[in-house]
Amino acid sequence: MKLPFIVKTPIPPRFPEPIPISIEEADDLKATIAQLNKAKEEMQATLLKATQENCKLKMEGLRKDKIIESSNKRLRLEEDEKRRVQDCLGGANSQLKHKNKERDELLDRAH
């Protein structure tokens, strides 16, 4: 057995009855609202400046990261080149020691 679908309409909320206030109180409330709006605008301007500064600092950080990355890459290349040169010099030194040993042996035989 299927039950009928019932739609209930919401009851609109009841608003409280307005409380009468004096003209002075109304003026004070208007002045407070104006001050709060001014403070809000100042805070929004401060937030905008801070957001702009944050973006500027992020961009500067990214730029510096790229410089560091480039410097590190260049340093790695220079270190690799230095190792290759050291290896070549080590090989040349080894050959010179071998040649010097051969020379000394030849000199010893000649005497």
Q: DSSP class of residue 106? A: H
Tell me the average pLDDT across 51-67: 98
Residue length, the chain? Answer: 111
For the whole prediction, is pTM greater than 0.85?
no
Q: How confident is the model at residue 16 (pLDDT cuts 50, 70, 90)?
A: confident
Tell me the average pLDDT across 13-41: 93
Q: Kindly write down the DSSP assignment for every residue of 12-43, as one continuous string.
A: PPPPPPPPP--HHHHHHHHHHHHHHHHHHHHH
Q: How confident is the model at residue 1 (pLDDT cuts 50, 70, 90)?
A: low
Q: Given this model, what pLDDT does residue 2 score?
A: 63
The region that residue 12 occupies, defined by phi over 0 for left and psi between -120 and 50 for alpha, beta otherwise, is beta
